[in-house]
């Protein structure tokens, strides 16, 4: 995990506005049960690319639930559900 985190940090140093390393860091932090750091990483990923795939946003919400952070949770769940529904409709066209 330390090597993975170091690699993500190096990616961020090289291209700070690229969203993917933040998602990877979030996944790694979540695996390590370092949930606050995972939330911060997912949040940064979403900030950099608000139209990130639904998996990132789902991971963010899952992590929020693990730390019992219910602030705006219902609203955020609805946002995710709406995005999923739009993706399903687009795929059917």
Instruction: Write out the chain's pLDDT in tens, 93 residues.
Output: 999 999 999 999 999 999 999 999 999 999 999 999 999 999 999 999 988 778 999 999 999 999 999 999 999 999 999 888 887 766 555
Angle ∠(21,47,22) on CA atoms, nearest 5: 15
pTM greater than 0.85 (yes/no)? yes
Please, is 2 exposed, middle or buried when counting C-beta atoms within 10 Å of its C-beta (0-12, 13-18, 19+)?
Answer: exposed
Instruction: Give the residue from 78, 17, 72 showing the smallest Cα distance to 39.
Output: 72
């Amino acid at each position: 995990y330390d090597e993975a985190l170091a690699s993500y940090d190096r990616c961020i140093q090289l291209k700070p506005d690229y969203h993917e390393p933040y998602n990877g860091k979030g996944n790694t932090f979540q695996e390590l049960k370092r949930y606050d750091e995972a939330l911060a990483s997912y949040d940064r990923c979403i900030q950099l690319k608000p139209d990130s795939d639904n998996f990132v946003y789902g991971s963010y919400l899952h992590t929020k639930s693990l730390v019992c952070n219910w602030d705006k949770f219902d609203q955020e769940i609805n946002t995710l559900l709406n995005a999923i529904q739009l993706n399903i409709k687009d795929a059917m066209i």
